[in-house]
Amino acid sequence: MNLPLQLPSYVQKNFVTVSSEVKIFEVIELMGCGQKNPSINLNEGDGLINCALVENSNGLVGLVSPKDVVSWVAQKLPWKSVAVSEVMRNKIVTCRVDELENVGHLINLFSQEKIDILPVVDNQHRGIGIITSHGLLEIINSKKSLWLKNNEDDFSTPSNFDVVMKNKTFDVQNNRWQLAVEGAGDGTWDWNPQTDEVHFSRQWKRMLGFEDEEIGDRLEEWSDRVHPDDLDSCYRDIERYLRGETYIYQNEHRMLCKNGQYKWILDRGQVIERDSAGRPTRFIGTHSDIDYRKIIEIALKESEEKYRRIVETTTEGIWMIDREGKTNYVNAQMAEMLGYDPEEMLGKPLFYFMDQEAQQLAQKYLKKRIQGIKEQHDFRFTRKDGSDLWAIVSTTPSINEKGEYLGSLAMITDISDRHQTELALIEFKQRLDQLAIHIPGMIYQYRLYPDGSNQLPYASEGIRQIYGVSPQEVMKDATHLLKTIHPEDLPFVVQSSQESAENLTPWYCEYRICHQDGSIIWVSAHSTPTKQPDGSIIWHGYICDISDRIKIQQELIHAKETAEAATKSKSAFFAMMSHEIRTPMNGVIGMTGLLLDTNLTPEQKKLVEIIRSSGDSLLTIINDILDFSKIESGKLELEKQDFNLRECVDSVFDLLKYQAQKQDLDFYYFYDPELPTMFVGDISRIRQVLVNLLGNALKFTEKGEVSLTISGTKIEQRQNNNSKYEIKFAVKDSGIGIPKQKQDRLFKSFSQVDSSTNRKYGGTGLGLAISKLLTEKMGGKIWVESEVGMGSTFYFTIKIPTVKKIQPTDKPQLLTKLESPSPRKNLKILLAEDNTVNQKVALLSLKKIGYLADVASNGLEVIDALQRQHYDVILMDVQMPEMDGLTATRWIRKNYPKDQQPHIIAMTAGAMENDRTLCLDAGMNGYISKPINIDSLKQVLYLG
């Protein structure tokens, strides 16, 4: 409704008129952003909504202010279902048009009724305007209507008015105005722009949380509390008003409260006095608390912005039509789907964007919308370029309070790609069916839904052979497959499929099924899961019969177990053979060694040396066989000890030089001066390879020379002051050479170039095979370069670290090392050995180096001897009757205190790696192998 032109300027137009049936949420939206509604009349004003006037057929019945709205929000009322008439202020104070000139009456209404808004009504009691506390400012500033009704005698002439403006009567009336304004909850201020003195009312101060005496009368009390971001706009609006660009000064800004928080204030004012030069000397105004309203405005703007962003950024199209089916809104995404600009689509009927067939279908859907039925369906539109747009259309009708159809809102999702995929899937399924016929096994598709239900959308004909059921049966009821799984395998199958679903990882499983014919079939299942938009998971997979493969695997496992058992038997045989051969060899080699130290004639000495040499050769053969067995079974462990590589080479040459001299061969080596000499590794195994290669070179060279070259390359620098080297050995001879076609046989077990070689030169054919395995175990390799008649060069490499740099030793330590004690001569020794020959060898060998010993034939005799007297050392044979050496050692370690424990040295004819481990685990202190020699005895008796 248009307001009458004769209304005074202080009657404001910033209100909305709403029906009493309007819902709360509509009033909130209107007061927040001023949008129009068929049931709401928004009057022309400055855009700031101060209140909503509620009317019915009888006229004005209620009022809603921003404070009321905040109260509703706080109470969390059901906005969309509660009408405003149920929560509005029913008791309202109004003013008729003919009472507007009686300003004293108006001030009294504000003061006595404690109101903040006074509606103005016409003769039909309908709202035509409102007066706010700020409106009273305009009343005071209006000389035409100042208190004409209540003060007629005092202001009957203009001269009287001018006088009264200067006396206390005006101040009394002014105070009445202030009381009325503050009674409505607003604060007032009275500013002299020439002196910057300001009178702030008590309510003005309390609005910010201050007491009257806490704020002075300077302008800075206001400006210092205005938010820094808002102060410039305040001054700009004041200047605009003073320049006459606006009717009143008005600004919304934030003020700092005593509690440190900011509050939104509506600041309004007018100049009511000027000096003779026209400069303002009195500028009065009001402070209204609009914090509640601002909170709602900001929340509504944020909500509006959020929904605007959603509409603008959604990947779905939004399409709105009116009751006539014409387009009144589309978002950019919808227009883009169809190839139009949004403006091109506005006003066009819905049927414009579809062909005749689609129009007929749309007519059916539209009838449902008019009936108020929501629906979702697939639909085909026609794009601007004539192509098809397949989409999911979710439509909601718009129905007013009278049940009238106003139009529809639709969410459009482009599924053109999906539609093409579905067509392609139909074609693919047809091809897959043709292909699956020729594939052994079963191709399938399994789907698991979020609620736990499942189905088999596809199964090929191969399922009949594996499960004994038809594709139609399992596609109708997928539980058929679960029922066929072997009961023992079912938990694993279920668990693995659950893990695949949770992690979306490929599913692979081998399990048994119980065929309908009663047979057990092993199957292998492979499938890959994909998550679907509806939350379900689809596995695409393949199942095949692997019963034959499982049978072969089981046979292989049995064969492997059989082979391992045979290997164990072989190891046990070698251990037994070692013991049985080494025991008499101990007597042969030990006695010949002792015999060589007696006074013999040259002829006798030669014969004894032959016996000794033959015994050593036999022992070498035994050691080769045992070494090969240990390496082959993976039981050979390399030792790690500091050693001098050059001294190792010297010892090998010392061992073999007599054979070279006997053959009149040049025999020498070259050691790279840049190569370190101190390394960490198994010196005995390096010496073994060198003896093997150099011995072969001497064996197969009748004239000329045999040489060794040692070089190396640093391959790693370590942080602990040492380096790792790859050392290369080259053994070169001028012997008979090796045919190229037979060189690949050299490093194979029990293999030589030909049998005549074995007959002429001897050997088992294991030496090079052992050397190959040892070099590989030390991180290297071995190979040969040779030509017949030109000699051969055998190369091998190993990778070993150097010794850590030796730290300086202080003098006391050095002295200790230099003064290491010599072997003790007063040891009490007990020899535990059941073989009389070995007893004799051991006793004579001990006597040779200055020791005597008592003898025990088994473990029981050892324990009996210990109970009679204490022994420093026990040389303990491992295998003895009645009680073996291991059992006796355990008994001694268990039953004697630490200070009475003897030093126990194992003597064994066994040569396997675990023999040494068993001895040390039983509590023995050392270990020597048979045949026993004097050097070994010296080493173990050197007790320090």
pLDDT confidence tier of residue 792, bands split at 50, 70 and 90? very high
Q: What percent of the chain has pLDDT over 90?
A: 27
User: 266 is written with which tokens?
Assistant: 């509506």
Residue 258 has pLDDT above 60, yes or no: yes
539: part of which helix (H) or strand (E)? Answer: strand 537-545
Please tell me the predicted confidence (pLDDT) of residue 471.
84
CATH 3.40.50.720 fits 188-290, yes or no: no
Which range of 536-545, 566-575, 613-622, 738-747 scores highest in mean pLDDT? It is: 536-545
For the whole model, what pTM was predicted?
Answer: 0.38
Supply the DSSP symbol for 73: H
Min mean pLDDT across 6-10, 31-35, 256-260 is at 31-35
Ramachandran class of 658: left when φ > 0, alpha when ψ lies in -120 to 50, beta otherwise: alpha
588: part of which helix (H) or strand (E)? Answer: helix 547-596
Q: How far is CA 898 from the centre of its chain?
A: 56
The residues near 243 (Cβ < 8 Å, ≥ 6 apart) are none
Task: Kindly tell me the sign of the dihedral angle through the C-alpha atoms of 27, 30, 35, 40.
Answer: positive
DSSP string, 91-107: ----EEGGGTT-HHHHH
Distance between CA 798 and CA 681 in Å, rounded? Answer: 10
Residue 398 has pLDDT above 70, yes or no: yes
DSSP string, 424-468: HHHHHHHHHHHHHTTSSSEEEEEEE-TTS-EEEEEE-TTHHHHHS
139 versus 421: the higher-pLDDT residue is 421
Which range of 272-281, 817-826, 924-933 scores highest in mean pLDDT? It is: 272-281
CATH code for the domain defined by 823-941: 3.40.50.2300
CATH 3.40.50.970 fits 554-622, yes or no: no
273: part of which helix (H) or strand (E)? Answer: strand 262-274
Min mean pLDDT across 76-90, 141-155, 616-630, 714-728 is at 141-155
Closest CA to 834 of 730, 914, 909, 765: 909
Domains 314-414 and 435-545 share a fold: yes
Please tell me the predicted confidence (pLDDT) of residue 132.
80
367: part of which helix (H) or strand (E)? Answer: helix 356-370
Mean pLDDT computed over every residue of the chain: 80
Q: Which fold has domain 641-801?
A: Heat Shock Protein 90 (3.30.565)
Each residue's pLDDT tens digit, 666-701: 999 999 999 999 999 999 899 989 999 999 999 999
User: 148 is written with which tokens?
Assistant: 């004409």
Average pLDDT on 593-602 reads 80
Distance between CA 85 and CA 348 in Å, rounded? Answer: 40
Reported in sequence order, the residue ranges of 383-431 that DSSP labels E, i.e. its strands, are: 388-399, 405-414
Q: What percent of the chain has pLDDT over 70?
A: 79
pLDDT confidence tier of residue 37, bands split at 50, 70 and 90? very low
Distance between CA 480 and CA 519 in Å, rounded? Answer: 17
* Half-sphere CA count of 381, side-chain side, radius 13 A: 27
Superfamily of domain 1-185: CBS-domain (3.10.580.10)
Residue 408 has pLDDT above 70, yes or no: yes
Average pLDDT on 904-931 reads 81
Average pLDDT on 142-167 reads 40
User: 516 is written with which tokens?
Assistant: 């309908």
Which range of 44-48, 284-288, 480-484, 645-649 scores highest in mean pLDDT? It is: 645-649
Please tell me the predicted confidence (pLDDT) of residue 813.
40
Domains of the chain: which residue ranges?
1-185, 188-290, 314-414, 435-545, 554-622, 641-801, 823-941
Average pLDDT on 408-430 reads 79
User: 582 is written with which tokens?
Assistant: 């080494």
The answer to whether 296 and 279 have CB atoms below 8 angstroms apart is no
Each residue's pLDDT tens digit, 307-337: 677 666 677 888 888 888 888 888 888 888 8
Q: How many residues does the chain have?
A: 944
Each residue's pLDDT tens digit, 829-865: 999 998 888 888 888 888 888 899 999 999 999 999 9
Please tell me the predicted confidence (pLDDT) of residue 707.
95
CATH code for the domain defined by 314-414: 3.30.450.20
Please tell me the predicted confidence (pLDDT) of residue 179.
54
347 versus 103: the higher-pLDDT residue is 347
Q: How many CB atoms lie within 10 A of CB 498?
A: 12
Please tell me the predicted confidence (pLDDT) of residue 694.
94
Burial class (CB in 10 A: 0-12, 13-18, 19+), 481: buried
Q: How many CB atoms lie within 10 A of CB 294?
A: 17
249: part of which helix (H) or strand (E)? Answer: strand 249-256
Residue 38 has pLDDT above 60, yes or no: no
Average pLDDT on 701-714 reads 94
Please tell me the predicted confidence (pLDDT) of residue 481.
81
Q: Which fold has domain 435-545?
A: Beta-Lactamase (3.30.450)
Burial class (CB in 10 A: 0-12, 13-18, 19+), 850: exposed
